[in-house]
Amino acid sequence: MLTSAPPAPSRFALYLDLIRWNRPAGWLLLLWPSLGALWVAAGGFPGWHLLAVFTLGTILMRSAGCCVNDVADREFDKHVKRTAQRPVTSGKVSTREALAVGAVLALAAFGLVLTTNTPTVWMSFAALAITLIYPYAKRFVSMPQAVLGVAFSFGVPMAFAAVQAQVPLLAWVLLAGNLFWVLAYDTEYAMVDRDDDLRIGMKTSAITLGAYDVPAVIAFYLIYLAIWSVALWAVVNPVVWAAMLVLALAQVAWHFQLIKSRSREGCFKAFRLNHWLGFTVFAGVVLGLR
């Protein structure tokens, strides 16, 4: 008995797949440090307007970044098991179409930024530039995850700019700390594709670090937590912050268990669960600010 083929996905469904709508972990990784910075900059709840701008803006810019990344990597993604069926790589969505979707999303995000202040608007251009540079850094930089770290941490100084109309030293210190968190989780992500990336000549931190990948990931986590702890110690309740650190360090230990064998499944699971670590630190900020 013949069975009919499943219907082709609609354009809307393909666009949702393009922006990873069913995988919210990506935008949560961007959201928690940005919101944490908002709370620190405001000394508490930053108001519904800025909360909405940064939440929606994060989702929109991460989605736009996915469009740009998939266009830039479309030839490489064909040779990677995990990415071979992405809409652009598989030909279901054209490069022009993907870039158009990305442009619409980026413009919507910019519209949100325009409701803030001039310093934040200017910083948004720098954030966009880094977002566009990152997909191509993987061809030339031995640890492109550092470039992603800047891109994924830029919401921190933007949050301070939106609240205070300036970017103090504290914002840059928190950005530097968050960069190490990005290095940790994106190295875990790169460990999933290491064999494929070696074969096609892609540069990643997992390849550069080699046998030191696992200890480096753990070190990155610890440096991230140390920098944020030192930077915020004067403005948080030490008991609340210490409790947060216990929970965060327990997650770091769990990540070590997941990645120590370097299995694809374990490394990918560790990457996907990172947003819980980000949420833990954010909760420490919200509950601990004095």
Angle at 17 between CA 12 and CA 20, to 5 degrees: 130
Q: What is the pLDDT along the chain (290 residues), one digit of tens a residue?
A: 445 445 567 888 888 888 888 888 889 999 999 999 999 999 999 999 999 999 999 999 999 988 988 888 787 777 677 777 888 888 888 989 999 999 999 999 999 999 999 999 999 999 989 888 888 887 788 888 888 899 999 999 999 999 999 999 999 999 999 999 999 999 999 999 888 888 888 889 999 999 999 999 999 999 999 999 999 999 999 999 999 999 999 999 999 999 999 999 999 999 999 999 999 999 999 999 99
pLDDT at 90 (0 to 100): 83
The per-residue pLDDT for 1 is: 42
* Class of domain 11-288 as given by CATH: mainly alpha
> Residue 83 is encoded by which pair of tokens?
């990415």
- Is the pTM of the predicted complex or chain greater than 0.85? yes
Task: Give whole-number Cα distances, 245 to 1, 42, 226, 264, 287, in Å.
Answer: 60, 23, 9, 28, 13
User: What is the identity of the amino acid at 240?
Assistant: V
Q: pLDDT at position 171, please?
A: 98
Domain ranges of the chain: 11-288
CA gap 160, 153 in Å, rounded: 12
Q: State the pLDDT at residue 138.
A: 75
> Please, are residues 123 and 157 in contact by the beta-carbon 8 Å criterion?
yes
Q: What is the pLDDT of residue 7?
A: 59
- Predicted pLDDT of residue 137: 81
